[in-house]
Chain A
């Protein structure tokens, strides 16, 4: 992976500007490179704010719903490693109850089960 890209993703992870979430979502989660999507999903989880967690939980093909198992598992591991899981549990509940896509709901249920076990 390009070192500059990695540096940019890390810079956006630590960035206080909320516009960084938009950049990560628009460029990172739509990258054709699995590794870039993986690093982007983990960066969004580490930011641990509502808007960033929402990107990786409710979107089909992104985050825990990524078509690449490596990306999905990496995102789930990052969620499980969070110290403060309050916001992520809230979003998972909303997804399970309100989301229109059954597969997204199923994935959210799985992640919530894992959170309960961890």
Chain B
């Protein structure tokens, strides 16, 4: 039984939503939502109808501190569950990185190149042929032809042989292609005439034409 200090002088206010306190039929179920004595101050030593509340279980006065603690605990549990996939992901990546590192440490260069070559081997023959045709289409370049020949050889060579030599040839061909392109580019640049200088000795007609050409090139805005 709740300890009652005194009965306050206030009259309880009954709203239409609240059930009126039944003095005959006592509400002994403490789980009921309605509380007809919600606005009554039980500070007194006696209660006018104290006997009808025999067995009335005190309502749980929720401590604010406890409520806050409970919500924090609940949210922490939720956060923990959302962290789970992240942790799994990190572990998975770490595992793969570790595997890759172990492979690199423990695998000889020859073996690694063979593995790479085998992966190239899986490329379809038609792809190699297309690459060779594309290389040949660059006319007049010996380096391009070397690449094409190498690729064609790659197709014809028994792919069970070590692939390292084939890859080296391709690498040399590509390097040669780069050198060829570089020299051709330099030749092209050399053919471009030097920028015209305009001076007071240049004829007015030439200056006028040059200015109009610039305006035409730039859309009228010089």
* Binary CB contact string for chain B from 180 to 221 against chain A (1 if under 8 A, 0 otherwise): 000000000000000111111011110110111011001011
Count chain A CB atoms within 10 A of each CB in B204, B208, B220 and give the residue with the most.
B204
CB–CB B214/A4 < 8 A = yes
CB–CB B221/A23 < 8 A = no
Q: Give the interface segment out of A29-37, A74-82, A94-102.
A: A29-37
Number of interface residues, chain B, beta carbon within 8 A? 21
Q: Write out the residue numbers on chain A whose beta carbons fall within 8 Å of the beta carbon of B93.
A: none
Q: List 16 A-B contacts (CB under 8 A).
A: A2-B218, A4-B195, A4-B214, A8-B198, A8-B214, A10-B198, A11-B198, A15-B200, A15-B207, A17-B203, A19-B204, A19-B205, A20-B207, A27-B215, A32-B220, A32-B221
Number of interface residues, chain A, beta carbon within 8 A? 21
CB–CB B221/A4 < 8 A = no
CB–CB A27/B221 < 8 A = no
Question: A1: CB under 8 A from chain B?
Answer: yes
Question: A5: CB under 8 A from chain B?
Answer: yes
**Alpha-carbon separation in the docked complex, A15 to B206 (Å):** 12
Interface of B is mostly: loop
Shortest distance between the CB of A110 and any CB in chain B (Å): 29
Shortest distance between the CB of A88 and any CB in chain B (Å): 23
Shortest distance between the CB of A71 and any CB in chain B (Å): 14
Shortest distance between the CB of B101 and any CB in chain A (Å): 56
B binding-site residues for A, Cβ under 8 Å = 195-200, 202-205, 207-208, 210-212, 214-215, 218, 220-222
CB–CB B210/A15 < 8 A = no
Given A2-B214, A27-B211, A27-B212, the answer on whether A11 and B202 have CB atoms closer than 8 Å is: yes
With A5-B222, A14-B200 given, name 17 new contacts (CB 8 A).
Answer: A2-B214, A2-B222, A4-B210, A4-B214, A5-B211, A8-B211, A8-B214, A11-B200, A11-B202, A11-B207, A16-B200, A19-B204, A20-B204, A23-B204, A27-B208, A27-B212, A32-B220
Count chain B CB atoms within 10 A of each CB in A5, A8, A10 and give the residue with the most.
A8
